[in-house]
A and B are shown apart, each in its own frame.
Chain A
Amino acid sequence: MKIKKLAATLLATMVTSMFTGCGNDGGSSGKSSSSNSDTSSNVSGDETVTLRLFSNLPDRKTGQGLVEQMIIDEYMEENKNVKIEVEALDEEAYKTKFKAYSMEGMPDVVSIWGQPAFLDEVVAAGVLEGLNSADYADYKFVEGSLDGYTYDGTLYGLPRNTDVQCIFYNQKMFKDNNWEVPTTYDELIDLAGEIKSAGIIPMAMDGGDGWPMAVYLSDVLYKIAGSDYSTIVSNAVKNGDFSDKNIKKATELLKEAADAGLFQNGYDSQDYATAMNLFTNGQAAMFYMGSWESSMALNEDIPEEIRSNIRAFTMPTVDGGKGAATDIAAWNGGGYAVYSGSKVKDEAIKFFNYMYQPDKLSKYGWENGVGMSAQDQSEYMTGDETELMKQIVDIVNNSTNISGTPINDCGPSAFKTSIESEIQGVSNGSSSIDDFLKAIGDSCK
């Protein structure tokens, strides 16, 4: 009898402790949700409102992450009852967790990308709050910058930056060797030969990640097809057929550049940092990257002789192409959105709108050299900007057209993954151009 009692007690203890374990978890989440619902009903009151921000900017001390944090701190200072909790992960981890969150409830304000490769699935899942575009008429957004965030007339987020694809170059190295900035694609290829024969890497390329090469392909395609670029790309993605002669020609030009040795040896397996280091150490004459890297000119880790000589130009024109020299590859990528199921939605939208006041993201971004905003920044120019920044502003101001989203972000994520991998194969010659075009077409179906 004693043994039975003891056994029953043991079993009861075991089961209770297990349920207690589960119960605690449930209890805490229940508690947090109840506190959330309390706060939602008292948004304008004195009770503390906790907003959760999910960000893809883990570096909170410099660059864009610092700008984001500055705005958060200011908002909390002005709204004493609001506490903003930030969870920041780098891009890949962010996108993975974003998906997990979408299944079980997301933070109130989230980073997003206004490109089909990311946003199509997210909008279809119904996790983003629809916004009224008329509310943002006075926010000085650059024309066309909201297009990527609009689905069936509803706005689902706002862009943060305008990204311009640049070819950064070392001006001093160019001068010392009497190299000229190329004005045509043929000149660029010839220049690659000259630079290479001088024992220097012509252009540092982050080929290991795939996307910079896909942007290169888009850049060249835009020079070939001009204003037809978006139609050609969207038709190709829609039909899963990339046999268009313009796309084929652009791929040939990419391969020609790789064969001519424009990129460093082993570019197809080297990452962002390695490619950038080749340029900032003076081993490469050019670096193919977006305008967000214009802060290189302010980076004191880069030797003064190099950082003060960094300049930029855009992809030169292609013979017989429709794109002019002033038609540039530029787009609005990252931005923010509000979670549709947020328990503190009113406060989330209030904070979201606060971030986009022209004197916040746009102004602070400019002052911290993080590149061009998606909003008009001209009034914040002081004249003390670096030569590189001024040059990029000129490139944008003098542009006659902009390309919009790069090709790899124009289709579903499966297409993005495919093109960013297959493009390594076509450029290094391990797969043919036709096989490449077929493989990326198949990934859209």
Chain B
Amino acid sequence: MKKLYSNKLVILSLVLPGVLLFIFAVLAPICLSIYYGFTNYTGMGSFDFIGFKNYNTLLHDSAFWISMRNSLFLAIGFICIQHPLALITAAVLDKLGGKGESFFRCVYFIPNVISVAVIAYLWKFIYNPDFGLLNNIIKFFGGKGDINWFNYDTAIWAVLIVLIWHGFGWGMLIYYTGIKNIDTVLYEAAAIDGATSIQTFLRITLPLMKPVIQVNVTMAVISALKQMETVYLLTNGGPNNSTQFAANYLYQQAFKAFKYGYGNAIGVVFIIICLLATAVLNKIFEEKDVWDVSSKKKKKVGRAA
């Protein structure tokens, strides 16, 4: 058996499907994107090579930069609001125990189980200025209740709240699983030493959760960059591109404006930005020193994923 696995033909036959899948489903489309990014292809008929014109246009395209700004806002929102809350909730849930623990674990995960289309329409109705839940609550408490939540200046915040709320369950569940994997002996020892809950959280839970946090933060940043479906259904980037995100903008340009070449140029820049973001995050996490509680020594932590 060992001999069989060391045979190159066998290795080739086992690796080949995966390699081919990668070549045809990932590498070839990226290469084609790069190719079409240099053309004025509309998606139909013939096309010409136009050099870097698409990229030059992209540099001056305010809608694209708004979409990048929005992705950045979302990533910050994920890292600074969603994840701290998710981590704290997971820690509290862990301490809750019993039926309450499983009940709240399910409750917090519900938004992730519901389809994105339903979520988008649900929030559309919540935000509606004429008959929405939010304005009706304001009216109930004596306010005027005529706020247009999706107005040009505030629409992006309204969208960010939905996205942060929607992704909360995933983050919480991963943190929860991470916390459950921490050896309870450490908590018992801390309790004997007279550590408070906050001290335990800061000195034991948080340091040991670093690898989980790294994975979660990387995933959050990438999902902020890739955001498409919720925004597409909620506002479709409007009003006037104020809630635009790169993937949605790419779709609009390639498939609605018949600027397939330009859409591909956006795609190429988008891939580069995603790769850069991942590389930067890995670099940041790689250089962080953490306190290894078990050995009481400082040590380097490897890559997140």
Contact = CB atoms under 8 A, between A and B. Distances in A.
Contacts of B153: 430
B44 A3 contact: no
A269 B256 contact: no
Q: Is the interface of A mostly helix, strand, loop or mixed?
A: helix
B181 interface: no
Given A103-B44, A264-B129, A266-B149, A414 B258 contact: yes
B255 A421 contact: no
A413 B257 contact: yes
A193 B257 CA distance: 37
Contacts of A18: 16-17, 20
B13 A430 contact: no
Interface residues of A, number: 51
Contact of A430 (B7, B130, B152): B152
Contacts of A418: 257
Nearest to B11: A7
Nearest to B43: A99
Interface in B135-191: 146, 148-153, 155
Given A121-B44, A428-B239, A266 B148 contact: yes
B4 A7 contact: yes
A208 B256 CA distance: 16
A265 B148 contact: yes
Contact of A428 (B13, B129, B131, B151): B151
B282 interface: no
A149 B281 CA distance: 54
A103 B47 CA distance: 13
A266 B9 contact: no
Interface residues of B, number: 45
Interface string A209-238: 010000000000000000000000000000
Given A7-B10, A265-B148, A431 B240 contact: yes
Contacts of B155: 269
Contacts of B42: 121, 125, 413
Would you call the interface of chain B mostly helix, strand, loop, or mixed? loop
Contacts of B151: 266, 268-269, 428
Contacts of A324: none
Interface string B207-248: 000000000000000000000000000011111111000000
Contacts of A126: 45
Given A126-B45, A208-B238, A14 B13 contact: yes
A201 B9 CA distance: 74
B255 A96 contact: yes
A207 B150 CA distance: 12
Contacts of A283: 130-131
B83 interface: no
B32 interface: no
Given A3-B4, A207-B239, A278 B130 contact: yes
B278 interface: no
A76 to B, nearest CB: 31
A124 interface: yes
Nearest to B158: A269
A425 interface: yes
Given A208-B235, A274-B124, A421-B237, A14 B146 contact: no
Contact of A127 (B13, B44, B235, B239): B44
Contact of A99 (B4, B14, B236, B258): B258
Contact of A10 (B10, B63, B255): B10
A111 to B, nearest CB: 16
A384 interface: no
B3 A264 contact: no
A210 B152 CA distance: 14
A417 B253 contact: yes
B200 interface: no
A412 interface: yes
A102 interface: yes
Contacts of B149: 266
A396 B181 CA distance: 74
B152 to A, nearest CB: 4
22 contacts: A7-B7, A14-B16, A15-B16, A96-B255, A99-B44, A102-B43, A121-B42, A207-B239, A266-B128, A266-B151, A268-B238, A268-B240, A269-B148, A269-B155, A269-B238, A271-B124, A274-B128, A414-B259, A416-B256, A417-B253, A421-B237, A422-B240
Return the 9 tightest CB-CB contacts between A and B, nearest first. A425-B240, A269-B150, A125-B45, A125-B44, A417-B257, A266-B148, A413-B258, A268-B239, A430-B152
Given A266-B148, A268-B151, A413-B42, 18 more contacts: A3-B7, A6-B4, A7-B13, A10-B13, A96-B255, A102-B43, A124-B44, A208-B235, A264-B129, A266-B128, A266-B130, A269-B155, A269-B238, A269-B239, A270-B128, A413-B256, A413-B259, A428-B151
Interface of B: 3-4, 7, 9-10, 12-14, 16-17, 20, 42-45, 63, 124, 128-131, 146, 148-153, 155, 235-242, 252-253, 255-260
